[in-house]
Amino acid sequence: MKDWIVTYVDGKIASVTRDFKAFADIARAVAQMPSSSAPSEMHSGRITTDELLMMATTLRWEDLRLFGTKFQKSVWKQLFDLVHGPEGTYHPPLGLYSYSDFASICSNPGVRSVAHAVALNPVTFVIPCHLIVPKETIDKINEIEAGAKDTLFKGEDLYLLDTIDVGQYSAGSPDLKRWFIAAQLG
């Protein structure tokens, strides 16, 4: 089933979403550009979740054409680098990050402004905003892992538990966010 809508601008990916709202937002941004710098081509197509998962491992930052403020783009680049690193090669992420920890990675003390930029991520899963969770979630996982390290359970894969709040997810439900976390960290 083709679950995701990818919008391309001049052959580069501008958004991956579940609806055409992003296409309209991008068209509005393009309409406000001077004609000399406006893109020449824009279209959308549908892909499956499996294709999206594969896309996340093969895309480079240069394959994206993002519309946002300079600050938003810098936050999105930091998110992208969580799984691609400065060299641009995909590697599995190290784990989950709290919004405050991620704001520190971005060298920005404004946790709310960073969280807002994370929530506006236009390229679902490829730019892994799903790896950013509330600090309380990180604390809860650490607490459970500490208590479970001497047990058979060991506290692994705690983000899969419905009782662990992974936070809201602009691309869908918290269950989708939990599924993406498991797909990338699993």
Distance CA 144, CA 67 (A): 40
In terms of pTM, does the model score above 0.85? yes
- Helix (H) or strand (E) run with residue 16 in it: strand 12-17
Reading the block at residue 44, the tokens are 């959308």
Distance CA 100, CA 91 (A): 23
Quick one: pLDDT at residue 13? 98
Quick one: pLDDT at residue 88? 80
Q: Note whether 52 and 8 are within 8 A (CB).
A: no
Quick one: pLDDT at residue 129? 96
Quick one: pLDDT at residue 42? 95
Largest Cα–Cα distance of the chain, in whole Å?
A: 64
Quick one: pLDDT at residue 157? 57
What ranges do the domains of the chain cover?
A: 4-185
Which DSSP symbol is given to 2?
-
- Helix (H) or strand (E) run with residue 17 in it: strand 12-17
Q: Note whether 62 and 13 are within 8 A (CB).
A: no
55-74 pLDDT per residue, tens: 999 999 999 999 999 999 99
The answer to whether the Cα torsion of 20, 93, 74, 116 is positive or negative is positive
Cα Rg of the chain (Å, integer): 17
The CATH code of the domain at 4-185 is 1.10.10.10
Quick one: pLDDT at residue 159? 54
Q: What is the pLDDT along the chain (186 residues), one digit of tens a residue?
A: 789 999 999 999 999 999 999 999 999 999 999 999 889 999 999 999 999 999 999 999 999 999 999 999 999 999 999 999 877 889 888 889 999 999 999 998 899 999 999 999 999 999 999 999 999 988 888 887 777 766 665 555 555 566 778 888 888 888 899 889 888 887
Q: Note whether 90 and 56 are within 8 A (CB).
A: yes
